[in-house]
Amino acid sequence: MLSTALMAAQIPVEWKVDPSPVPYPEAVREMEARVEQIRQQHAAERVWLLEHPPLYTAGTSAKDADLLDARFPVFRTGRGGQFTYHGPGQRVAYVMLDLKRRKPDARAYVHDLEEWLIRVLRRFGVAGERRVGRIGIWIPRSNGREDKIAAIGVRLRHWITFHGVSLNVAPDLSHFSGIVPCGVREENFGVTSLAALGQNVPMVEVDEALRRSFAEIFGPIAGG
């Protein structure tokens, strides 16, 4: 007999890709509505890939001093973490999974999100790494510097996840200078992207890598 977690993992996850930038308040409203539908078992779990117009979001641990230049709209949000930037050229993946049916373990879930991003990067020849005490995926550089290429910020409601991850594909990295990304102020830490690392990958290929790697870790996706 299959375990409850394995049975949940066998139910295909809905995969949605939005072709146009989605305003942040609209995305939050849609996520919250979907979380409630999942809780009531009226809808399937979902992964939603999108881009946002340029903006900053502040997680529950954000410090006002880490907002250096509010050149873009700033949104306070209930996800974990500190300040981050979203904008064109960055793939955001909002993940709505029912951990109560899968595995009610928030730390294990974040570890799986990290593994998802690491596997995606590996498909493009980039070695992303975890760091103890620093959320996200990091790229070690030859000069001793470490640059962040992907961020993670999640929230759980009734053990259903929302918010998720963001991967820097080819955003304008100067837009990150308006904040202290994730509260890391040390000079030897920065941000990077696939494009900055010489990997000029079309977003459609990134999406396919996200899809394949997600299925390896979390289970089947509807339609493939």
Query: Which residues are the active-site residues?
Result: 182
- Pull the structure tokens for residue 67: 């907002």
Which CA distances in Å does 133 have to 59, 104, 136, 179, 183? 16, 22, 10, 19, 12
**Taking the CA of residue 192 as centre, how many other CA atoms within 13 Å lie in the half-sphere pointing to its CB?**
22
Torsion of CA 42, 48, 51, 55, to 10 degrees: 60
- Tell me 178's DSSP state: G
**What is the C-alpha separation between 52 and 84, in angstroms, rounded?**
12
**What is the C-alpha separation between 193 and 201, in angstroms, rounded?**
11
